Amino acid sequence: MTDAQDPKSPQQPSKPESDTGKSATSPTPLAPESAAASPAQGSSDYVEPATPATPHPTGKPVGGTAEGSADMPPNPDTLTRPKPPSDPSASADAHAQRTAPAAKAVAPVTAAEIASDSNPIGASMPKTGADVKAAGVGSAGGNIGESGATAGAGGPGSAGGAGTPGGGGGGGHEPPHEPAFGAGAPRPGSPASMGGQPSYLRAGDSPWSVLRRITSARLRAWYDRAGQRLTQRTLKIGISARIFHPEPGSKGLRSKTLQYLEESIAHWVMSRDVLVFMIPTVDTQGLLHPSHIRLHDYAKHLDGLVLQGGADVSPLTYSEVATRHEWQGDRMRDMYELELLHEFVEQGKPILGVCRGCQLINVAFGGTLHQDIATDLPEAIPHVTETYEHNRHTLTFPEGSSLGQMLGPVDVPIVNSIHHQSVKTLGRDLSVEAFCAEDGVVEAIRYRKAPFVMGLQWHPEFHRAGGPEFLDCTPVLDNFLRAARETRF
């Protein structure tokens, strides 16, 4: 019996011949509306034959599908795919599944079934978003059959999930160009995907290896800071003070004890970009302004010591008596500078003595002096004249002299001569570094048991650096400052 012979079946409108010729020959599935109208058919084994359908030339939505409204009547111009042959029991199961409530869970449909022609368009079948994406059709932003809050704008084959139970248009979850990650799957580069470690750590890093690298970095930073302090911190050089004693009956400055330094010696040392400090005398027993600062504190915090020239060394300091009253020297200054010298020697700091400083170094280690060269050495050339620093003579260096090695090969080393005292008996552990070429007077000495303790009888601060007239003594200053940097701690 056909639909036209069955009085209970709805009459289908006639189709044009052009559309009928294109219709499929396979039977169509039973529409949900028809099943609801004929409850007797749900328990019958009768399968209604398919009604020929025409192609859908206008792209109108099909009633009762995901593409149309649930209450829209069937469109006679819509193409209906043929239903594959199946047994009656399968039809009954399919009918029961279609009439089930919308909230009931349904079995997932594979992507192959969605993409194949075996799935009729007229049947409302639930689909998952993963299946739709795998088939290349369906929603680009939501699952078919989902609520309007989760269904997105439809792609080819869907209209955003409209027409399904609870369906409606809306924004999508994921853009089509972003990768989809499974439930519980970590994103690449996250700590979970790296075994619980940040992606910037090396593969196989352990807490001990990270701690070792951190410790190594801290040690390198400390080493760099220590090296910078050793090589770049400005040196601090102390210069002993000259002392002006009060004159009896005078007023003003002449009635006061003055401590000062000669400008040339300070500028000569500062020419190598170091800081210069004049070291004053100390008096812990002072009645007006007592202090706990000692010369030991200066030796501890300064990097080197320069003993400048000035008044004669008192013969009392080396256990002799002055042969003339004017050769009494400055006993107070002797005591101050001897203590200062020994403090720097004990600290291992370098010392450079100039003129009087050279003589004091010799006396400090037990040596003696000629109180007057002209008296004690009549054959010697004049070592002091009215021309002062313009008086000169040449030098000679003994074999193995470290001073000669510092200054390098010089054809005629000429220095100034402004002294009337000189080394007589050499102190212990001292060696002669230079003589006057004309009379053999000692002109330079060195203490052998210290890194750098040297005395020059002439005034190197009066020599122009690189000048053609006098010996360039800046190599001596450079060696002194180099020793100060190496022994600063």
Query: Looking at the annotation, which residues are catalytic?
Result: 355, 459, 461
Tally of residues, the chain:
489
Q: Under the phi-then-psi rule, with left for phi > 0, alpha for psi from -120 to 50, and beta for the rest, what region is 380?
A: beta
Q: What gap in Å lies between CA 290 and CA 309, rounded to an integer?
A: 28
Residue type, 165: P
User: What are the backbone angles phi and psi of residue 179, rounded to the nearest 5°?
Assistant: -70, 145
Strands 242-244 and 258-260, bridge-based pairing: antiparallel
Q: What gap in Å lies between CA 109 and CA 115, rounded to an integer?
A: 11
User: What are the backbone angles phi and psi of residue 364, rounded to the nearest 5°?
Assistant: -60, -30
Three-class SS string for the chain? CCCCCCCCCCCCCCCCHHHHCCCCCCCCCCCHHHHHHCHHHHHCCCCCCCCCCCCCCCCCCCCCCCCCCCCCCCCCCCCCCCCCCCCHHHHHHHHHHHHCCCCCCCCCCCHHHHHCCCCCCCCCCCCCHHHHHHHCCCECCCCCCCCCCCCCCECCCCCCCCCCCCCCCCCCCCCCCCCCCCCCCCCCCCCCCCCCCCCCCCCCCCHHHHHHHHHHHHHHHHHHHHHHHHHHCCCEEEEECEEECCCCCCCHHHHCCEEECCHHHHHHHHCCCCEEEEECCCCCCCCCCCCCCCHHHHHHHCCEEEECCCCCCCHHHHCCCCCCHHHCCCHHHHHHHHHHHHHHHHCCCCEEEECHHHHHHHHHCCCEEECCHHHHCCCCCCCCCCCHHHCEEEEECCCCCHHHHHHCCCCCCEEECCCCCEEEECCCCEEEEEEECCCCCEEEEEECCCCCEEEECCCHHHCCCCCCCCCCCHHHHHHHHHHHHHCCC
Q: What gap in Å lies between CA 355 and CA 313, rounded to an integer?
A: 11
User: What are the backbone angles phi and psi of residue 381, rounded to the nearest 5°?
Assistant: -75, 160
Q: What gap in Å lies between CA 351 and CA 87, rounded to an integer?
A: 117
